[in-house]
C-alpha cells in the first residue's frame, strides 16, 4: 500500500516539517522550531495540528439509529442534543477497547471521529453491527484541522467569525469561503481549542490564514507531549484490545444510565463496575530526571513486577519526566512508591494524579 498524503502536505514541507509515516500517512513529526518550542507555543498561544488522517464517519438514515448505536457504544446518545459531542469507545465482547472516539449528534444522524490506525476496521465493525441498515460514509473528501491553545478562540474568530460562542464538546456549521465547515470545540492537548472539518481544497488557505493571525503549525511530536501532560490516552499505547475503559481509568466516560443496559462488552463492564479491576491506569512521576518510556517494567519495593509503563516522555511545560501506565490495583493509590526499570537500574518514582498539567477548557453546560 502506498503512503498517503493529507491536503496539507505541501504546507508541511513549506514550513520545514520532518515527515514520518504514521498510520499509513506521511505526517509531520516536527517543524523547524522543534518539539519543545512547538509544545510551549501551543500552551502559551495557539498551535495548528493536521489531524486529517483521522476518520470522519457520518452515519444517517432511520428512526432506530440512536437505539442501534446505543447497542454498540456505552454513551447516552438519547440524551445527546444536536451538535453535542461525547467521548466513547468501540469495544469487543470482552470489554477491550478497539478504539476510543468522539461521537457528535448531527442534524441527520451522527458523526464519529476515529483514530487513523483503526478507522477502516472500525467502519467494517460498525457497519456489520448495524446490519447494513443505515448510510455510513467514512468521508475522505474532508480534512480535519485542530487549533489548540489559549489564543485559539481569538485566532479562529478572525477567520471564521462567531465560532468563539461554541461551548466545550459542542459543534456547529459555519461558512468559510462560501463552503460549509463543521467546527467542534474540542481537542486533545489539555488546552481550549477547536477541530475544523473542511473540504480538502480549502484546507491550505484556511491554515495559512490561521498562521497569518499568529498561530503556528505543530507536529505529532508535540501533540504527543501535550496529550501526555494532559493525562490523555493514545490508542495503541495506553489503550488496546485487552484493556477495558474501567481499567483505563475512563469510568467517567460511561454514564450511570448505561451501566445496566446492553451494549458490546456490557457484561464484562458491569462485572468490573461491581467487583473492581485487577489493573488500573495511573500517572507516574519519576523522582529523578530519568525518562521511562512505554514498556518499562514497574516494580514494588520488594522487587516484584507490578505493571508496565505505556507512555512516557519529558513534559516540556511541567519541566519533568512524566509517564502513565498500568499497575496492579493495590498499588494504584496516589503517592505509592514504585520503581521503574530503565537500562537495568531501578529508578524510584511515585504514583501521582492525572493530569500532570491542569486543563484550561471552556466549560459548557454539560460536564464531560
Partner 1 sequence: MSEVKYSKEHEWIKLDGEEATIGITKHATEMLGDIVFAELPEKGSNVDKDGTAGVVESTKAASDVYTPVSGEVIDTNQMIVDDPSKINEDPEESAWFFKLKIKDKSEMDSLMSKEEYDKFAKETSA
| Complex with partner 1: residue 26 or 92, whichever CB lies closer | 26
* Residue 21 CB, nearest approach to partner 1 (Å): 15
| Complex with partner 1: residue 34 or 276, whichever CB lies closer | 34
Q: How many CA atoms lie within 13 A of 129 on its CB side?
A: 21
| Complex with partner 1: residue 216 or 279, whichever CB lies closer | 216
| Complex with partner 1: residue 74 or 221, whichever CB lies closer | 221
* Residue 225 CB, nearest approach to partner 1 (Å): 6
* Residue 178 CB, nearest approach to partner 1 (Å): 41
| Separation between Cα atoms, residue 358 and residue 279, nearest integer Å | 25
Footprint of partner 1 (CB under 8 A): 29-30, 34-37, 39, 221, 225, 289-291, 293, 313-314, 316, 321, 343
Cell 458523526 locates to 111
| Complex with partner 1: residue 98 or 225, whichever CB lies closer | 225
| Complex with partner 1: residue 19 or 29, whichever CB lies closer | 29
* Residue 342 CB, nearest approach to partner 1 (Å): 9
* Residue 18 CB, nearest approach to partner 1 (Å): 8
* Residue 34 CB, nearest approach to partner 1 (Å): 5
Amino acid at each position: 500500500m502506498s503512503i498517503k498524503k493529507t491536503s496539507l502536505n505541501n504546507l508541511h514541507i513549506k514550513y520545514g516539517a520532518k515527515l514520518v509515516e504514521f498510520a499509513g500517512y506521511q505526517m509531520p513529526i516536527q517543524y523547524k522550531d522543534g518539539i519543545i518550542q512547538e509544545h510551549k507555543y501551543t500552551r502559551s498561544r495557539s498551535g495548528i495540528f493536521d489531524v486529517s488522517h483521522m476518520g470522519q464517519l457520518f452515519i444517517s438514515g432511520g428512526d432506530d439509529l440512536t437505539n442501534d448505536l446505543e447497542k454498540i457504544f456505552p454513551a447516552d446518545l438519547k440524551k445527546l442534543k444536536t451538535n453535542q459531542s461525547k467521548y466513547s469507545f468501540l469495544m469487543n465482547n470482552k470489554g477491550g477497547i478497539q478504539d476510543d472516539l468522539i461521537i457528535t449528534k448531527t442534524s441527520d444522524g451522527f458523526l464519529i471521529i476515529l483514530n487513523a490506525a483503526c478507522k477502516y476496521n472500525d467502519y467494517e465493525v460498525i457497519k456489520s453491527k448495524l446490519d447494513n441498515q443505515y448510510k455510513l460514509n467514512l468521508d475522505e473528501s474532508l480534512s480535519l484541522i485542530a487549533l489548540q491553545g489559549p489564543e485559539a478562540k481569538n485566532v479562529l474568530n478572525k477567520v471564521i467569525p462567531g465560532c468563539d460562542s461554541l461551548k466545550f464538546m459542542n459543534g456547529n456549521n459555519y461558512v468559510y469561503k462560501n463552503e460549509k465547515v463543521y467546527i467542534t470545540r474540542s481537542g486533545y492537548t489539555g488546552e481550549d481549542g477547536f477541530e475544523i472539518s473542511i473540504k480538502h481544497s480549502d484546507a491550505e488557505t484556511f491554515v495559512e490564514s490561521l498562521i497569518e493571525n499568529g498561530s503556528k503549525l505543530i507536529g505529532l511530536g508535540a501533540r504527543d507531549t501535550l496529550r501526555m501532560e494532559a493525562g490523555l490516552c493514545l490508542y495503541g499505547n495506553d489503550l488496546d484490545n485487552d484493556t477495558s475503559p474501567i481499567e483505563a481509568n475512563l469510568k467517567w466516560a460511561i454514564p450511570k444510565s448505561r451501566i445496566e443496559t446492553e451494549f458490546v462488552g456490557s457484561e464484562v463492564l458491569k462485572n468490573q463496575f461491581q467487583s473492581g479491576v485487577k489493573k488500573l491506569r495511573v500517572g507516574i512521576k519519576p523522582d529523578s530526571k530519568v525518562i521511562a518510556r512505554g514498556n518499562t517494567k514497574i516494580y514494588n519495593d520488594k522487587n516484584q513486577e507490578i505493571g508496565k509503563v505505556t507512555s512516557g516522555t519529558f513534559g516540556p511545560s511541567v519541566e519533568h519526566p512524566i509517564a502513565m501506565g498500568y499497575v496492579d490495583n493495590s498499588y494504584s493509590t496516589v503517592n505509592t512508591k514504585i520503581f521503574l526499570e530503565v537500562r537495568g537500574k531501578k529508578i524510584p518514582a511515585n504514583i501521582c494524579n492525572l493530569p500532570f498539567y491542569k486543563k484550561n477548557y471552556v466549560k459548557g453546560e454539560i460536564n464531560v
